[in-house]
Amino acid sequence: MTDSAMNSAGRQSLYEFRDVGLTLGGKLILNGIEITVRKGEILCIVGASGCGKTTLLRLAGGLYRPSQGSVLFDGAPMTMPRQDVAIIFQDYGRALLPWRTATGNVALALEAAKVPAAERKGRIEASLAKVGLADHADKYPTEMSGGMQQRLQIARCLAQEPQALLMDEPFGALDAMTRQSLQDETLALHADSGATIIFVTHDLEEAIYLGDRVIGLLPHPGRVGIEIDVHLPRPRSQLATREEPEFLRLRRELFDFIEKSEGHR
């Protein structure tokens, strides 16, 4: 698929945030959020710490309900978590069951979805294979490195066969090398599954490298401050893509935005 097709505005939308506001503990956290997420795209969300990125993702996951406006998924209001929307948390160490092996952790998603036992084995193996953990199926999370644990969490989400993957700074705690491989694996999984991805990160380069679009949030209360289209060809490559003039221009643009937004507070 060509780059311009990926971004064609005519594509159907999966998510629509309509004038969404959220108040938590008497405090206005998000206000007037208008975002459309197109089917199959990777939308990256950046912004200063505390501006509401995680909160926005939790709204998309149905873990919060908006206090104002509405979050539509496939045209219907998102009122609770859905089986076909998977959330990948940053703190993979806490999001996995330490008493279950890799296989057991992936199985949890299938048990929740009431997949018949006979079908599970194959789907578990396939999910683990997609993230390169086929040879570690019997390991417990504590026996795995951070990168492997995050891969395992991704495998559990893939087993749900989600339409949308919501990722909250998933690679923030990993070293640079592991992060780059996981970025590329994410792109490959995306190309393979066609799932829609909302990807929260504070790493501006990561946002441009992965995204079809990048949205920058302004803090206090969290609202959309900038929206840019990333016209970089796919498949992307860690070296070539990051050296493209367009990449550098976008990086500059986002960098200036963040710097200004931090002056905002």
Partner 1 sequence: MSSDRLKGLILPALAVLAFEIWLRAFPIASDALAPPSAAVMALAQGLADGSVLLATRDTLLGAIIGLGIGSSIGLLLGVLTGLLPPLDRLLEVSIESIRPIPSVALLPIGLMVFGFGYALEFSIVAKTCLFATLILTRSAVRGVEPRLMEVARALRLSPFARVTKIVLPAALPQIFVAFRLAAGAALIVAVTVEITINPQGLGHAMMTAQQALRPDVMLGYLLWIGIVGFLWNAALLLAQRHLFGRAAVSEAMR
Ligand X SMILES: Nc1ncnc2c1ncn2[C@@H]1O[C@H](COP(=O)(O)OP(=O)(O)OP(=O)(O)O)[C@@H](O)[C@H]1O
The yes or no reply on residue 29 touching ligand X (CB under 6 A) is yes
Cβ neighbors of 107 (< 8 A, separation 6 or more) are 100, 120, 124
The smaller minimum CB distance to ligand X, of residues 25 and 75, is found at 25
Residue found under tokens 């509405």: 70
> Which residue in 31, 55, 127, 201 binds ligand X (CB under 6 A)?
55
| CB nearer ligand X, residue 110 or residue 204 | 204
Site for partner 1 in 81-100 (CB under 8 A): 81-83, 86-87, 89, 91, 93-95, 97-99
Residue nearest Mg ion (C-beta atom): 54
Cα separation, 15 vs 165, whole angstroms: 12
Q: Is 149 in the site for partner 1 (CB under 8 A)?
A: no
| 144/204 with CB nearer partner 1 | 144
* 69 binding partner (options Mg ion, ligand X, partner 1, none; Cβ < 5 to 8 Å by kind): none
The window from 34-42, 50-58, 179-187, 246-254 that contacts ligand X (CB under 6 A) reads 50-58
Asked whether 71 and 78 are in contact (CB, 8 A), the reply is yes
Dihedral of the alpha carbons of 60, 109, 190, 218, in degrees to the nearest 10: 20
Nearest to 146 by CA among 111, 181, 117: 181
User: Is 77 one of the binding residues for ligand X (CB under 6 A)?
Assistant: no
Instruction: Kindly tell me which of 99 and 255 has the beta carbon lying closer to partner 1.
Output: 99
Residues 214, 254 contacting (CB under 8 angstroms): yes
Q: How far is the CB of 55 from ligand X (least distance, A)?
A: 3
Least gap, CB of 60 to ligand X (angstroms)? 12
Residues 169-208 that bind ligand X (CB under 6 A): 202
Q: Which residues pair with 35 in a beta bridge?
A: 17
Q: In what order do the strands lie in the sheet with 76-77?
A: 27-38, 13-24, 68-73, 76-77
Give yes or no for residue 50 binding ligand X (CB under 6 A).
yes
139 binds partner 1 (CB under 8 A): no
CA-to-CA distance for 264 and 54, rounded, in angstroms?
A: 20
Please tell me the distance from the alpha carbon of residue 105 to that of residue 8, in angstroms, as a whole number.
38
Q: Which of residues 8-27 bind ligand X (CB under 6 A)?
A: 24-25, 27
**Chain positions contacting ligand X, by CB under 6 A:** 24-25, 27, 29, 47, 49-55, 202
